[in-house]
A and B are shown apart, each in its own frame.
Chain A
């Protein structure tokens, strides 16, 4: 029953992914390619943190390696090497696997913080070496290539790149899902729960960790090579720590304990940057705020919250709950409005343009424009508005949260302790 329903859901999603993009503009097609690549990257990363319990802070290394390996193969194809373009990501997989085996051998000698630090150091190693290794990484400007046609496909349009990416992401995603059902996949979970006991049951935990790490690096390499195919270029900035950090944020916001959680996080963040980065330069700050809020109030991530509600959907009394959630949403909108207003006001007032305007106005504080209206910084109303929004939104959210917590504690849901700190009832 549940299996059939899930299959149908996935099939519907697949139909959407195949049928919709031809009707979208180039910008959206490109954004969807980025969503797919980020999804695979996050899924591969989550194999380590979600399943094996290993937090890597340096997955940019394998993403970058995959991208460069793919570009070198593409350059060879340009020069006449007979290799089908759709299979270029195999180069990323092979390079990711190889480097993952070597790096993983050392990184997994330790666990916890030490593991995280070693992975960070390995990525930094690539980041600092790449600009100097002209032949491999093309120096600071990086290397570029062209997608060559294969059979009847020219790979000239973004749509063709989209379908190629979709195919690879689906295959790898299915592979990862199948992995969780193999003996080794179950062993990976056991490792997360209790490494010591695994050792006393006759397994060399170091070998197990090296293999998990290498599989994760291999699929990360595939994601990197898909990015290389899409962009037709790569430089050393792919090894930067913000690439490593981004996948950590996406995975945790999406929910590392749910298999598809990282996909949700990857989609949310990629689309967020696509939609908001043109509107405001503060989008990175907003992204950080989203991360902090999710970690504080829904540590199991968006996927964890969804899963919790889906699991308990029959026992739940939806009418009062949806009312509460609507109220919480209203509170959230008010808080968001207040925060955005304050952030953008500060951005304007301390910006260069306003400094010029001030000089022209003889040092006084002239009115500024924001959201299509004029605001006077000396007017108390300008400051009162966001404060009222924040206070009102805060009051609504706090009291709603109390009710939601009480609702769940009353047994609105089952005693599913594993995923209980949920949504606004986070402190419950």
Chain B
């Protein structure tokens, strides 16, 4: 897809550390995400999953270590530069433009991809290509019927779908989804899984997920994060059979 070597990881974290004051949240973490795979991060609360996402996407700069996207260093870059380098993320707490229509929410990202960032001299309604691509994303996330409604009026699961749609609009090849099914009912979760599977086809996906059903149904590999470090990385089946992981994480869930 990106024309990069398949052996080379899409995303590589090497010796990444992050401290907040005296508290070290990420402790020399190493992780390779292969191009084209769907990779889940699981771990108990406070393991550092959200911090890890914030480090990769540029919300925070790491205290030490290296993060590279397709062999290009992105550690410490600002979020918009990381996005332009080809990595997009969604948020755990829905993070949309509440007063804009669903269509406009998606179009902002499409405009960014087309590089029309500071277009001041042409009405956006005449940009055929941009509007067509927005409709395409709108259809893919199944929100055609809500196109003109203010995003703030959508139901929770519709907002989650919009959140995923916005992540896709900038055309990034590496997608980070932060708990995309959190707070959803069983049917909604099943729908969201189908959606994530189709829209990440041919892309690289890294997601934080608590629901083991989603992890098993969707992901090629799983990394278990405990106390700011990767305890193990493997296929979902082997991870669930891993004694160490059971003790650290799955065992807690069961009890």
Q: Do A and B come from one complex?
A: yes
A189 lies within 8 A of B100 (CB): yes
Question: How many residues of chain A have a CB within 8 Å of chain B?
Answer: 29
Which of A38-46, A157-165, A177-185, A241-249 lies at the binding interface? Answer: A177-185
Instruction: Determine the residue in chain A with the shortest Cβ distance to B84.
Output: A202
Given contacts A182-B123, A183-B111, contact A418 B97 (CB under 8 A): no
**Chain B, 85-114, CB within 8 A of any chain A CB:** 88-89, 91, 95-100, 104-105, 107-109, 111-113
B119 lies within 8 A of A200 (CB): no
Hey, what's the 0/1 contact readout for B118-143 against A, CB within 8 Å counting as 1?
Answer: 11111111010010000000000000
Q: Is B170 an interface residue (CB 8 A)?
A: yes
Contact partners of A185 in chain B: CB under 8 A: 120, 124
Given contacts A200-B88, A201-B169, A202-B83, contact A183 B97 (CB under 8 A): no
B107 lies within 8 A of A203 (CB): no
Chain A nearest CB from B6 CB (Å) reads: 26
Q: Is B204 an interface residue (CB 8 A)?
A: no
Contact partners of B166 in chain A: CB under 8 A: 197, 201
Q: Is A281 an interface residue (CB 8 A)?
A: no
Q: Is A402 an interface residue (CB 8 A)?
A: no
Contact partners of A194 in chain B: CB under 8 A: 95-98
Chain B nearest CB from A178 CB (Å) reads: 7
Hey, what's the 0/1 contact readout for A167-194 against B, CB within 8 Å counting as 1?
Answer: 0000000000011011111110110111
Q: Could you count the A-B residue pairs with CB atoms below 8 Å apart for me: how many are there?
A: 100
* C-alpha gap A211/B118 in the complex (Å): 9
* C-alpha gap A205/B79 in the complex (Å): 10
* C-alpha gap A418/B98 in the complex (Å): 10
Centre residue among B98, B107, B124, B130 by max chain A CB count within 10 A? B124
Instruction: Determine the residue in chain B with the shortest Cβ distance to A205.
Output: B80
Contact partners of B98 in chain A: CB under 8 A: 193-194
Chain A nearest CB from B14 CB (Å) reads: 24
B83 lies within 8 A of A201 (CB): yes
* C-alpha gap A322/B153 in the complex (Å): 30
* C-alpha gap A189/B151 in the complex (Å): 13
Q: Is B78 an interface residue (CB 8 A)?
A: yes
B117 lies within 8 A of A203 (CB): yes
Contact partners of A183 in chain B: CB under 8 A: 111, 116-117, 119, 122, 124, 127, 130
Q: Is A196 an interface residue (CB 8 A)?
A: yes
Contact with B89, one of A182, A187, A200 (Cβ below 8 angstroms): A200
* C-alpha gap A179/B104 in the complex (Å): 16
Q: Is B150 an interface residue (CB 8 A)?
A: yes
B112 lies within 8 A of A186 (CB): no
B99 lies within 8 A of A189 (CB): yes
Chain A nearest CB from B86 CB (Å) reads: 10
Q: Is A378 an interface residue (CB 8 A)?
A: no
B108 lies within 8 A of A186 (CB): yes
Q: Is A342 an interface residue (CB 8 A)?
A: no
* C-alpha gap A181/B123 in the complex (Å): 5
B120 lies within 8 A of A182 (CB): yes
Given contacts A190-B104, A202-B112, contact A182 B170 (CB under 8 A): no
A418 lies within 8 A of B150 (CB): yes
Hey, what's the 0/1 contact readout for B141-156 against A, CB within 8 Å counting as 1?
Answer: 0000000001001000
* C-alpha gap A178/B120 in the complex (Å): 9
Instruction: Determine the residue in chain B with the shortest Cβ distance to A178.
Output: B123
* C-alpha gap A192/B80 in the complex (Å): 17
Chain A nearest CB from B198 CB (Å) reads: 22
**Chain A, 256-275, CB within 8 A of any chain B CB:** none
Chain A nearest CB from B121 CB (Å) reads: 7
Chain A nearest CB from B174 CB (Å) reads: 13
Q: Is B57 an interface residue (CB 8 A)?
A: yes
Chain B nearest CB from A46 CB (Å) reads: 16
A189 lies within 8 A of B97 (CB): yes
Contact partners of A417 in chain B: CB under 8 A: 153
* C-alpha gap A183/B78 in the complex (Å): 22
Chain B nearest CB from A202 CB (Å) reads: 4
Instruction: Determine the residue in chain B with the shortest Cβ distance to A181.
Output: B123
Contact partners of A184 in chain B: CB under 8 A: 117-120
Contact with B170, one of A178, A193, A201, A418 (Cβ below 8 angstroms): A201
* C-alpha gap A200/B176 in the complex (Å): 12
Chain A nearest CB from B94 CB (Å) reads: 10
Chain A nearest CB from B85 CB (Å) reads: 9
Instruction: Determine the residue in chain B with the shortest Cβ distance to A191.
Output: B97
B120 lies within 8 A of A202 (CB): no
Contact partners of A201 in chain B: CB under 8 A: 80, 83, 88, 108-109, 112, 166, 169-170
Given contacts A184-B120, A186-B124, contact A193 B99 (CB under 8 A): yes
Contact partners of B57 in chain A: CB under 8 A: 200
Chain A nearest CB from B168 CB (Å) reads: 11
* C-alpha gap A140/B9 in the complex (Å): 68
Q: Is A198 an interface residue (CB 8 A)?
A: yes
* C-alpha gap A417/B99 in the complex (Å): 11
A202 lies within 8 A of B118 (CB): no
* C-alpha gap A211/B88 in the complex (Å): 25
Given contacts A194-B97, A197-B166, contact A202 B113 (CB under 8 A): yes
Chain B nearest CB from A183 CB (Å) reads: 4
Contact partners of B80 in chain A: CB under 8 A: 199-205
Instruction: Determine the residue in chain A with the shortest Cβ distance to B57.
Output: A200
Known pairs A187-B111, A190-B105, A202-B84. 16 more at Cβ < 8 A?
Answer: A182-B121, A182-B122, A183-B122, A184-B118, A186-B124, A189-B99, A192-B99, A194-B97, A197-B91, A198-B108, A199-B78, A199-B80, A201-B169, A202-B113, A203-B80, A211-B118
Contact sample, A vs B, 23 pairs, CB 8 Å cutoff: A179-B120, A182-B120, A182-B123, A183-B117, A183-B122, A186-B104, A190-B100, A193-B96, A197-B97, A197-B166, A199-B80, A200-B57, A201-B83, A201-B88, A201-B109, A201-B170, A202-B84, A202-B113, A203-B112, A203-B117, A207-B118, A208-B118, A418-B150
What 10 A-B pairs are tightest by C-beta distance, nearest first? A202-B83, A183-B119, A193-B97, A202-B112, A181-B123, A199-B79, A183-B124, A201-B109, A184-B120, A183-B116
Which residues of A approach B to under 8 Å, CB–CB? 178-179, 181-187, 189-190, 192-194, 196-205, 207-208, 211, 417-418
